[in-house]
Structure 1
Amino acid sequence: MKKIISSLLLFSALQAFSQEKTSIELNYPIPSGDNFISNYDGLVDVGIKYRFSDKENFAFGVSLNANYLTYDEPDIGFKTKNYNFQPRIFGELKLKGIPRLHPALGLGYTFMQFSTTGNGNTGEEIISFNESESLSGFNFNVSFSFDFTKKMFAQVQYDAIKVSNTPEGVPDTKYNTTANFIKLGVGYRF
């Protein structure tokens, strides 16, 4: 029975991939704007998209991106790691005049996990720090991809995140409740 179920799952996955409905992406995330994440260094962003509706002029689908950023505070000696998970739905236009260009809009939610560690000297005392914090909020995405070949593409994306759960004691200002990314990358369609 396990072999039959495994075979069916494998067959279903191969069917989905063979219809060019799935793509994977590798991006470089660049924090942008005047907000709490702007001092972070982006390291990597990976994503997967699945188009469940593919019409003549547009496609609709779901996607999931995960990215990793870091921030070092050398004066105090702290290092923060930030992991973001971004599930979303998206709509992609098919331009008849420029068939290799694919503009898309996405709407989803972002889950942000921060982990700060370090030992440092503030000038008044020596501090040892090991703390985690979670934030989340709605995510709006605009992207443009350009096909190099039928399978390979390059893309640029802009993500705007509106944080909905600021920590206690943090002022509810635009600086503390927004995060923006520009992502540059490449992808492959199955």
Structure 2
Amino acid sequence: MNVKLLLGLIFLVSVTTFAQEKKWSVEANYPISIGGDLGNDAPGIIDLGIKYRFVNLSFATIGFGVNSAVFAKNANVTETSEINETHWLVQPKLFSEFKLPGLSKLRPSLGVGVTFINSSFDGNLNGVVFDNSGNDTAFNVNVGLSYDITKTLFVQGQYDFIDYEATINQNDYLGLLKFGLGFRF
């Protein structure tokens, strides 16, 4: 077994065993674009995130998080035409997880932040080669719900509403659904 991997596992187990309050979490989600267009409706590949909780109130926990997602599509339009598109999303946000009396395993959340989108399109269209890329920034609001399977492992669902109009005066928005697993430590 790789020594670095073994040391990493020992560290992770010791942090999760001895931590009184779990301030950090990591998550892996499957993102689905459902509202507005992300390019030519490129399917989601993965969304990875990390969160840090820095305020613990009696009714909620407040923290900062960042997610990064990738959407990609390769399309053969005709025998001589191919289009490849890739979209990278980076989403820093402030969030709050609410504590429900009597339902300690269920955690609704609300977040607000920004979404940075880097898109690239390349390929050839009837023999004409093209390579375009662009960046967008948009306001982001999200709502989510997680359920604790154990003290450290949870499942979650989240909806992100990304509004371009608030930042770049376009009348456009994007909706993302995310479903995944997370680990608190």
Q: TM-score range by the shorter chain?
A: 0.7 to 0.9
| CA distance in structure 2 between the partners assigned to 1:134 and 1:73 by the alignment | 22
Alignment of 1:46-65 (within 5 A): 46-65=48-67
Give the gaps of 5 or more residues in structure 2.
1-14
CA drift of 1:56 comes to 2.0
CA shift, 1:59, in A, is: 0.5
Report the AA paired with residue 102 of structure 1: R
Distance 2:116 2:59 in 1: 32
Q: Secondary structure at the match of 1:99?
A: coil
How far 1:185 sits from its partner (Å)?
0.3
* Unaligned ranges ≥5, structure 1: 1-13, 167-171
Size of the alignment, in residue pairs? 163
Distance 1:63 1:102 in 2: 16
Hey, which bits of structure 1, 4+ residues long, moved more than 2 A? Answer: 71-74
| Structure 1 residue 54 displacement after superposition | 1.0
Q: How much has 1:120 moved relative to structure 2?
A: 2.2
3-state DSSP of counterpart to 1:77: strand
For normalisation by structure 1, the TM-score amounts to 0.81
SS at match of 1:74: strand
Give the corresponding residue for 1:7.
Answer: none
Question: What's the TM-score once normalised by structure 2's chain length?
Answer: 0.83
* CA displacement at 1:142 relative to structure 2: 0.3
How many percent identity over aligned positions?
Answer: 36
- 1:9-20, aligned counterparts within 5 Å? 18=19, 19-20=21-22
Query: Separation in 1 of the partners of 2:138 and 2:72?
Result: 20
Please tell me the root mean square deviation across aligned C-alpha atoms, in Å. 1.8
Q: Which whole-Å CA distance do the structure 2 matches of 1:54 and 1:129 have between them?
A: 51
Cα displacement (A) at 1:152:
0.2
Deviations 1:148-171 (A, max 9, x none): 0000000000001012337xxxxx
